[in-house]
Amino acid sequence: MELTELLGSSFDCACGKQHTVPTEEFIYGEDSFELIPRLINTYSTQKRCLIIADTRTYGVAGREIEGICETGGVRCDHLIVADAGGESPAVDDRTRDVLLQQTTDASLLIAVGSGVINDLTKWAAFLQNIPYIVVATAASMNGYGSANVAATIDGLKVLFHAAAPKAVIARPDIIIKAPYELSSAGLGDVLAKPVSSADWRLNNFLFEDYFCEFSIDLLKDLEPVYLKNPEKIRSHDPEGFKALFMALFYSSVAMTITGTSSPASGGEHLISHTLDMLAARDKCSHDLHGRQVGVSSIVMAALYERTLTIEQPQFLEPPPQVDESFWGGLTPIVEKEYQAKLPKMARAAAILSQPGNWEALKTTLSPHLLAARKLKGCLQQAGAAHRYSDLRYHNVPVEKDFFVAVVNHANQMRNRFTILDIAVLLGVMEEETEDLIKGWLS
């Protein structure tokens, strides 16, 4: 099946489920904005649309789209989401409540922006039970076509299901001209796939969790364009950028059709979310999601390589509680997640201690993995973040000891089981984390 044939379709999959793609149109072209009035007429019966943007994305595309809509006879207002404390807007319950108060009269929402604006609009549209479309302003993340929202609620980074957009629109000149830091972040986000796929298959092997090979294979034809030729991203090559944006979009489709973020989110995302949570706790800034994910994917791939070299595993008891000295005021909410995970860790140790299971696991996971050197080389050649010091926290480069601590504790922040938990059970975590980070991220 061609990728474009998936849009708006339902089909039976070899995984045993019927998949449905709620996004009906994906438009990547120079005339894409001129098609927006038609989309509004298609998906909005009352023709009262509201553009949601921030101060930057409104100037990049929102004002032009508003003018095109007015020329096309469509009433279109705009809402600028304010920056928070001198930083970009945040996806949290406070901002959500502000949006809900100001979107009650709209019959369709138009998100103009990338990660934060997309998630906020998706969230508001879902709660208001109205459709939305998204106009991308950067190839910066893989959530454009997903039904998931990543938000901070009461200090905890959570992921929950909402509704996917009816259409995703992008104009190549805007995507290519976006700040390169955003584009390189998108590359980091999509390169998480080998690690997240392995983590998903790990859960399938240990706990018989649902797994879909079709969703993993969606990007096979697109991956070589940017993975083997990262200089195409660095040189702003139109073909490379289109492949990157399509990979990000169809990665989001994979999450939507499976009903889980697992096709694109594993242990590397837990590290990124931990950085986000600590920054919210400390009331300071953190780096872009995709940059954090890209760097974390390198060390997760290296952790897989190190862990799977073990011939005769000896499993240890994990810590009975989270580390309060690390989590501080976040301890109560993180403890709840961790206590729910402990039975999984005990079960995993019991299963992998049975004769033959460790070798079978290694054989099962190896097809999904990509060498850490390939991930690092791709990000390095693309001019993307590939060292811990490339990341910024509180507006200064991340220090090694801090990043080591983040990696050592990231498995505690969510009930999702990943290679981080296997490494804890094997004693690789704590003992070897610093060496891995020095060896791969310096």
Tokens for 173, please give them. Answer: 């000149």
Tokens for 433, please give them. Answer: 């984390």
Sequence-separated (6 or more) residues with CB below 8 Å from residue 220 = none
Pairing status of strand 10-12 against strand 18-20: antiparallel
Task: Provide the pLDDT for residue 328.
Answer: 97
Domain 3-178 fold: Rossmann fold (3.40.50)
- The whole-angstrom separation of Cα 151 and Cα 125 is 15
Give 396's strand partners: 393
Residue 149 DSSP SS3: strand
CATH of domain 193-210+260-441: 1.20.1090
**Per-residue pLDDT averaged across 68-87, rounded?**
87
pLDDT at 342 over 80: yes
Q: What is the pLDDT of residues 120-157, one digit of tens each?
A: 999 999 999 999 999 999 999 988 999 888 888 887 78
Strands (E), 148-268: 148-153, 156-161, 167-170
Q: What is the pLDDT of residues 35-63, one digit of tens each?
A: 999 999 999 877 789 999 999 999 999 99
Q: Are 440 and 379 in contact (CB under 8 A)?
A: no
Q: What is the pLDDT of residues 219-265, one digit of tens each?
A: 887 888 788 889 999 999 999 999 999 999 999 999 999 999 899 99
Element (DSSP H or E) covering residue 181: helix 180-190
pLDDT at 84 over 80: no
Give 266's strand partners: none
- The whole-angstrom separation of Cα 170 and Cα 68 is 15
Nearest Cα to Cα of residue 386 among 165, 209, 234, 158: 234
Q: How far is CA 431 from CA 270, 301, 311, 371, in A?
A: 20, 17, 18, 22
Task: Provide the pLDDT for residue 83.
Answer: 87
Q: What is the pLDDT of residues 95-128, one digit of tens each?
A: 999 999 999 889 999 999 998 999 999 999 999 9
Task: Provide the pLDDT for residue 378.
Answer: 96
pLDDT at 87 over 80: no
Task: Provide the pLDDT for residue 430.
Answer: 85
Nearest Cα to Cα of residue 265 among 207, 209, 212, 195: 195
Nearest Cα to Cα of residue 273 among 385, 150, 398, 389: 150
Question: What is the biggest distance separating any 2 CA atoms in the chain, rounded to whole angstroms?
Answer: 70
**Per-residue pLDDT averaged across 398-405, rounded?**
98
Query: Residue 5, class by beta-carbon neighbours within 10 Å (0-12 exposed, 13-18 middle, 19+ buried)?
Result: exposed
Going from N- to C-terminal start, the domains of the chain cover: 3-178, 193-210+260-441
